[in-house]
Structure 1
């Protein structure tokens, strides 16, 4: 039985942890059916609490080196020092993809001993891009969330992981054919009339609500996702589907509306 949910801030993103926690409390109140719901608290940035040298080495070891190479890690001195600076000054970090499951294992070892059992759900908002390896196609895939203990939510993944509308990629290809190089991402985002999320999108907090609930739902039921594309628990692989599930229409399918209100 879940007794507590700890939601950790990502201070360099525009994800509002307090708003996420308030929304989650309402959902868990509805699911409790009159019983005391799990206590939901907002905590400081998780990466501020660990030993910097150890975490820096762990992040260096979890670096994805190539989209098609399963092996990870570059622990050269310069890379480790970069990771140290990124931990101490997270606003300087960016452009690196990490093995999400490897980072999850490392952060599991950093959980407080008194709250390491499964009756506490830890949801860590991160300002890092995370991926998982796809055995089916032999390449890395960016992810919004890596479910488990703790659950990791990648705020950059919200913008980068789901595939964008087809028009986005056609415009990118056209620009490359005409100029010989790829246009800056922000140029394409301004050109394409498509409904997708971009970096620092004002809809970030609303779009993350369903992902926070997925972490708790998974811990409660062993099932994370819903097959209904209009439900907050749907696992969207395309931006259009993410927007539909998290930002449009009803919040839940009939089954999950009965549970979460």
Structure 2
């Protein structure tokens, strides 16, 4: 039984941890707390080394990491000044292990879920197709929820990629992301989207549900606990009615 959930802010993003915590309090029995950045609280030189070792360096290579001095120094600067971080994908499970080892001993049990909202992009290795996949969430202790992953991990509508290919054929260059986002109609979230906080609520609740039940996400694409692989699916699951499938509505509705 999860008795305490500690949610950590990601102040460089559009995610409102306090609003998510308020929503969560209406749906779980345990205490819900909010703290500042977990990456800031546990930032050390060794954490910078662990993050450098968790970097995905090749989308088709399961081996990660570049611990050269310059990369470690970059990670140290990014921990101190998160506004400077970007453009890197990290092995989510490696980051999870690194943060788990730095949780307070008295709070490391599965009755106390730590849930940092991250300003980093995380991924997991797909053995079925031999490549890395960006993720919104990696469940466990702590459960990681990536705010930029919300925009980058689920695939955008087909029209987005068709327009991108057409532009590249005509100009020889990839179009700026902002241009495509302005031109393409459809349901998808973009960086800084005002719907970010609302869309993240289901992923946070799924992390609690995982520790409570041992079940990762829901199979019903209309449920907020569904892990959509395409942006229109995220919009359907997180931003449209119904909020939950019948089983999860009974539990959390």
Please give the range of the TM-score, normalised by the shorter of the 2 chains.
over 0.9
Structure 2, unaligned runs of 5 or more: none
For residues 242 and 167 of structure 1, the distance between their equivalents in structure 2, rounded to whole angstroms, comes to 17
Who is 1:14 aligned against? 14
- Superposed displacement of residue 180, structure 1: 0.8
- Superposed displacement of residue 26, structure 1: 0.4
1:174-185 equivalences under 5 Å are 174-185=166-177
TM-score by length of 1: 0.96
For residues 173 and 213 of structure 1, the distance between their equivalents in structure 2, rounded to whole angstroms, comes to 37
1:142-184 C-alpha deviation (Å, 9 max, x unpaired): 0000000100000000000000000000000001111111111
Equivalent of residue 203 in structure 1, options 195, 210, 215 = 195
Who is 1:112 aligned against? 104
Aligned residue for 1:27, secondary structure, equals coil
Aligned residue for 2:123, secondary structure, equals strand
Equivalent of residue 212 in structure 2, options 220, 226, 231 = 220
Structure 1, unaligned runs of 5 or more: 29-36
1:64-213 equivalences under 5 Å are 64-213=56-205
For residues 230 and 120 of structure 1, the distance between their equivalents in structure 2, rounded to whole angstroms, comes to 29
RMSD: 0.7
1:237 aligns with 2:229: yes
Count of matched residue positions in the alignment of Structure 1 and Structure 2: 253
- Superposed displacement of residue 194, structure 1: 1.4
For residues 144 and 33 of structure 2, the distance between their equivalents in structure 1, rounded to whole angstroms, comes to 16
Aligned residue for 1:209, secondary structure, equals helix
Who is 1:32 aligned against? none
* Moved >4 Å (runs of 4+): none
Aligned residue for 1:107, secondary structure, equals helix
Who is 1:26 aligned against? 26
1:116-143 C-alpha deviation (Å, 9 max, x unpaired): 1111011111000000000000000000
Mapped contact 2:7–2:33 kept (Cα < 8 A): yes
Aligned residue for 2:58, secondary structure, equals coil
Equivalent of residue 46 in structure 1, options 21, 38, 41 = 38
For residues 216 and 224 of structure 1, the distance between their equivalents in structure 2, rounded to whole angstroms, comes to 10
For residues 194 and 185 of structure 1, the distance between their equivalents in structure 2, rounded to whole angstroms, comes to 15
TM-score by length of 2: 0.98
1:45-80 C-alpha deviation (Å, 9 max, x unpaired): 101111421111111100000111111101111111
Aligned residue for 2:132, secondary structure, equals strand
- Superposed displacement of residue 14, structure 1: 1.1
